[in-house]
Amino acid sequence: MLALRELQAAFAAHIVAGDRADFLAAVTGDAIPAAARLGVYRHHVFSSLASALSETYPTVKSAVGEEFFRRIVRAYVTTTLPVQPVLAEYGEDFPGFIATFEAARDLAYLADVAQLDWVLNRAFHAAWTPALGVADLLAIGTELLPTQRLALQPGAALIESDFPIDRIWSLSQPGAVEKTIDPQAGGVRLLVLRRSDAAAFAPLSVGEMAFVRGVADGRTLEEAAALGLGAQPVFDLSSSFGRLLGLEAFAALRQD
């Protein structure tokens, strides 16, 4: 007879692979065979996880179609079960799985599309905090402003891709104007943020990307600005900083 811990491990393994004869032998009672009863449970588990991934990765699903998406999901679920009870947190490593999925080898853009879906999902479920405004900066004063450390909004993320993943995302939206997109049309740099009732992204220049990354890494505004100028000599700090304030990219001030 299997010990409790062994029984639990065998149950999880059977749900994934359906081939644990020792576990089937431990299931007793009922006129319906154990394999049939557990088959219903396995179907429910896979359906629930597939539905969760479909909600989290809608752009991936739209890009490859229902049938191929389910094929990827089936392969993923058999190797990766949830480790937390919130299904919105399931599938963090799905983009990495797609990158190594042999059947998607010719879809080089797909892993980056999945990464965009994931960070949008994470931003959407992040806590909402008041945004940093011009009045907050005026209260500090121009002399001290360069030494300030800002924090991005909770759930904010930077994503850079060699593919036009923003346009691929837009193509999957209701009422999309574009009908087809060349995946080789060029890359993009994006800042993903939570809005009051959704998640959104905004394109960044090379300098803005370096600047925001510096802020995210805990650099002072002066240090982050230097990174922006180093990445893009024509980087306009005043214009870009104003744009980022308008996007409500920053949260509370951070001071040493």
Q: What is the pLDDT of residue 119?
A: 98
Do 115 and 193 belong to one domain?
A: yes
- Beta strands 199-203 and 188-194, pairing class: antiparallel
Do 221 and 133 belong to one domain?
A: yes
Do 131 and 103 belong to one domain?
A: no
Q: What is the pLDDT of residue 129?
A: 86
Q: What is the pLDDT of residue 256?
A: 46
Do 205 and 219 belong to one domain?
A: yes
* H helix runs in the chain, sequence order: 4-17, 21-26, 34-56, 58-64, 66-77, 94-100, 110-124, 134-140, 165-171, 206-216, 221-231, 237-246
Q: What is the pLDDT of residue 120?
A: 98
Q: What is the pLDDT of residue 2?
A: 59
Do 120 and 99 belong to one domain?
A: no
Do 115 and 222 belong to one domain?
A: yes
Structure tokens at 63: 């890009």
Do 178 and 90 belong to one domain?
A: no
- Cα dihedral 213→217→218→224 (10° resolution): -30
Q: Is 93:80 a contact under the CB 8 Å cutoff?
A: yes
Q: Which residues of the chain have pLDDT under 70?
A: 1-4, 6-42, 253-256
pTM: 0.85
Q: What is the pLDDT of residue 22?
A: 62
Q: Which residue range(s) make up the domain with 143?
A: 111-256
- Rounded to whole angstroms, the Cα distance separating 161 from 108 reads 11
Q: Is 163 helix (H, G, I), strand (E, B) or coil?
A: coil
Do 30 and 47 belong to one domain?
A: yes
Do 32 and 56 belong to one domain?
A: yes
Do 135 and 241 belong to one domain?
A: yes
CB count in 10 Å sphere of residue 103: 12
Which residues touch 100 (CB under 8 Å, ≥6 apart)? none
Do 136 and 82 belong to one domain?
A: no
Q: Is 118:92 a contact under the CB 8 Å cutoff?
A: yes
Do 65 and 192 belong to one domain?
A: no
- Using the 3D structure, point to which of 37, 72, 107 is the last residue of a domain: 107
